[in-house]
A and B are shown apart, each in its own frame.
Chain A
Amino acid sequence: MRKTIVLALLFAFVPLVSVLAQEASFSEVNGKVEYQTGADSWKPARPGDRVGKGVVISTGFKSTAVLMIDKSSISIKPLTRMTLEDIVKTEGGTQSQLYLLAGRVKADIPPQPGKTTEFKVKSPTATASVRGTGFEFDGVNLIVEHGTVQLMTATGQTRMVGAGEFSYVARGGVVAPPSAVVIASGLDSVVELVVQSVAESLSTVVVVTPPPFRPTSLVTIGVQ
Chain B
Amino acid sequence: MKRQPLVPLALFAALFFATLFVAPQLLAFDFGLDISDDSALTMESDTSVSQVNRARAWINIPMGKDANLQFSGFYEFKGIFEFSPISADITPARLDIDRAEYSGSMQGVYGPSSILRYSVGRFSLSDFSSRVLSGLSDGARADLVLGNLTWYATAGYRGLLYKGDARSSIDVDDAAIDNDDKAYFGPSRAFLGAGVRLTELLPGQDVGAEFWAQLDLAGSGTATHTAYFEPFIEGRVGRSIRWRAYGIGELGMGDSVFAAMAAGGMLRLSIPEVRNLRLTQSVAWASGKTGGLVAFTPIRQLPVGSASTFTFTDIVYASLDASLSIMPGVSGSAGGGALFRASDNQPSGTALREGSDADYLGAELNARASVRLSSDLSAGASAGLFIPETGSAYPEGTPLRFTASITATFTL
Contacts and interface: CB of A to CB of B under 8 A. Distances in A.
Given A164-B239, A174-B150, A196-B272, A156 B199 contact: no
A203 B278 CA distance: 14
B124 interface: yes
A203 B126 CA distance: 10
A158 interface: yes
Contacts of B107: 154-155, 173
Interface string B146-177: 11101000000000000000000000000000
A160 B237 CA distance: 12
B372 to A, nearest CB: 10
Given A164-B239, A172-B145, A159 B200 contact: yes
B199 A175 contact: yes
B147 A156 contact: yes
B244 interface: yes
Contacts of A199: 276, 278
A202 B272 contact: no
Interface in A101-130: none
Interface residues of A, number: 30
Given A172-B145, A196-B276, A158 B268 contact: no
Given A204-B134, A205-B134, A177 B236 contact: yes
B345 interface: no
Contacts, number: 86
Interface in A42-82: none
A154 B145 contact: no
Interface string B132-151: 00100000000101111010
Contacts of B242: 200-202
Contact of B145 (A155, A158, A177, A180): A155
B204 interface: yes
Is the contact region of chain B dominated by helix, strand, or loop, or is it mixed?
Answer: strand
B134 A155 contact: no
A156 to B, nearest CB: 3
A163 B239 contact: yes
A164 B270 CA distance: 12
Given A175-B199, A204-B134, A205-B134, A158 B272 contact: no
Is the contact region of chain A dominated by helix, strand, or loop, or is it mixed?
Answer: loop
Nearest to A204: B130
Interface in A177-201: 177-182, 196, 199-201
B273 A182 contact: yes
Nearest to B269: A180
Interface residues of B, number: 40
B266 interface: yes
A196 B113 CA distance: 30
A154 B105 CA distance: 14
B322 interface: no
A173 B240 contact: no
A195 to B, nearest CB: 10
A165 interface: yes
B331 to A, nearest CB: 9
B278 A154 contact: no
Nearest to A159: B200
Contacts of A205: 124-126, 130, 134
B200 A160 contact: yes
B272 A182 contact: yes
B236 A171 contact: no
10 contacts: A160-B203, A162-B239, A164-B239, A171-B105, A180-B270, A196-B276, A202-B242, A202-B280, A203-B128, A205-B124
Interface of A: 154-160, 162-165, 171-175, 177-182, 196, 199-205
Given A162-B239, A163-B239, A199-B276, 6 more contacts: A155-B115, A182-B276, A196-B272, A202-B242, A202-B243, A205-B134
